[in-house]
Structure 1
Amino acid sequence: MHMFETLVLLHIVTGTLGLAAFWVPIATKKGAQAHRRWGRIACYGFLGAGSLAVVMALLSLYGPEERIPSVTDRTLFAGLFGWMMLYLGLLTIGFVDYGLAVVRHARDRAQLRRARYQAVMAAVVLSGLWCGGFGLAIGQPLMVLVSVVGVVAMVLQQRFVWRREAPPGAHVGEHFRALIGMGISAYTAFLSVGLVRRFPEQVFNPLFWAGPSLVGVGLILWFTAQANRRKRARSSAPGVPRSG
């Protein structure tokens, strides 16, 4: 078996592991032993899937072999199987890293400002901007859109990291949004790698690539809007002190 096919298999396995474990921390009591254990398993699965996606993307762009030689539009191939896969892999890693970090440093948000965490978020933003620019150049608007929503998600994370004060328990919402983002990886692995190989005529259908990210990041943005509305309602209630 060639190395690339081995990487694809491992990508699907790790993504499936993350997807299977993903629902346990959502369904179980938050903070309970099962929540923590299965949450870690899901994180490791998604981290593996994201890392393998980055490696496969780099091989598709710069590897010695031509991937899927039957595809004649190599520019579009580079866009979807190269730059977009690279961005989605980094986006998944970024969500995993941030989701674990906000819980680990719940009492000291200043730790999230360290170069180690900032570098991961910067890598996501830069790869997203490149993906969007490449998609714009080749006429793939969904590549542009998925890059925009990913960059917005990173901006929301930075807003939490750098704000002067945060209300008690605010890290829980950040952790939840990152958990949704992690779920993007497994669905992307199934749709873009699994279904595309089953239905090769859909190999360049951007919905297979962008759909999971659009839905997942869209849910993150929706959750953020809901949380902000609840916060404003509590702040405007009589007798409730406003937090700065």
Structure 2
Amino acid sequence: MEFLFNILKIVHIFGGFLALFVFWIPIVTKKGGRVHRISGWLYVGGMVTVAISAFYMGIYRIFLDPSTSSEDVSFSWFLIFIAILSSAAAYYGIRVLRFKKRKTRHRHALDLGYPLLLVFSGICMSVYGFLSDFPLLLWFPIVGILLGISQLFYWIQAPKKKMHWWFEHLAGMLACCISTITAFTVFGAPRLLGLESVSIIIWFLPTILITPLIIGLSIYYSKKFSGSNKTNVTHKK
């Protein structure tokens, strides 16, 4: 079991750095273009690798490693939650494209189950963070809870906005980026820089920076699409 843990740790690091290096490319390249699609799938592949390996490593540390300290247990639970959050966000970002032509409510079990898992795990992690006096686990899962609720509302309602899938894809993949960078600031950066402790503000910095980016891009593209529609109407007249 320890041998598998060490192998998956290497795989986890590789997948994490792959995701960290390519996550910005789909953001700045032409949407739907070849570079956007290739880099997007590379990012998703890296995050899937990270999520699966993180889930196993977290379980191993908590239940199978007798040398694990109480602090390691808390960080392992956070690692598991990040795995759920990142995979749920990436999965959502892909699935909204798959069903972009839908006109009615969506009832696919896995598409509803993943957000429910995200909400449930977020609530459990927040309670655990409160009981263990671990601020990161108390407050950060709220991001996952809100994200899971918004995903559920999107699926259970008939689409009301034109290009709805575009905005949901954008929100889902950028939410996944929050997970990528947060995981790096919590686990990777302190080890690479040799830091024993990091301010909780640094842990929340990716959320603080990327959330306004999601809102800003949504407003930008909403205006852009509205302008395109008006132009088309004018041409038709």
Which band: TM-score by shorter chain? 0.7 to 0.9
| TM-score normalised by structure 1 residue count | 0.79
- Whether the aligned pair in 1 keeps the contact of 2:126 and 2:137 (CA below 8 Å) is yes
- Whether the aligned pair in 2 keeps the contact of 1:18 and 1:43 (CA below 8 Å) is yes
Correspondence for 1:201: 196
Q: Flag the 1:215–1:2 CA change in 2: closer, same or farther, 3 A.
A: farther
Residue identity opposite 2:167 in structure 1: G
Q: Could you say what secondary structure the match of 2:162 adopts?
A: coil
- Whether the aligned pair in 1 keeps the contact of 2:102 and 2:159 (CA below 8 Å) is no
Mapped to 2, the partners of 1:53 and 1:209 lie a distance apart of 18
Correspondence for 1:38: 39
- Asked whether 1:181 is paired with 2:175, we answer yes
- Asked whether 1:130 is paired with 2:130, we answer no
Correspondence for 1:119: 113
Q: Flag the 1:197–1:42 CA change in 2: closer, same or farther, 3 A.
A: same
Correspondence for 1:17: 18
- Whether the aligned pair in 2 keeps the contact of 1:91 and 1:150 (CA below 8 Å) is yes
Residue identity opposite 2:42 in structure 1: I
Hey, which bits of structure 1, 4+ residues long, moved more than 4 A? 109-112, 204-211, 213-220, 223-227
Residue identity opposite 1:53 in structure 2: A
Match of residue 191, structure 1, among 172, 185, 198: 185
- Asked whether 1:63 is paired with 2:64, we answer yes
Correspondence for 2:82: 88
Q: Which runs of 5+ in 1 are unaligned?
A: 235-239
- Whether the aligned pair in 2 keeps the contact of 1:25 and 1:39 (CA below 8 Å) is yes
Mapped to 1, the partners of 2:112 and 2:163 lie a distance apart of 22
Mapped to 1, the partners of 2:212 and 2:126 lie a distance apart of 17
Q: Flag the 1:126–1:42 CA change in 2: closer, same or farther, 3 A.
A: same
Q: Flag the 1:156–1:211 CA change in 2: closer, same or farther, 3 A.
A: same
Q: Which moved more, 1:149-158 or 1:109-118?
A: 109-118
Correspondence for 1:237: none
Task: Give the C-alpha shift of residue 186 in structure 1.
Answer: 2.9
Q: Which runs of 5+ in 2 are unaligned?
A: 228-232
Correspondence for 2:230: none
Correspondence for 1:77: 72
Mapped to 2, the partners of 1:212 and 1:16 lie a distance apart of 16
* Greater RCO, 1 or 2 (C-alpha within 8 Å, sep 6+): 1
The count of residues paired between Structure 1 and Structure 2 equals: 226
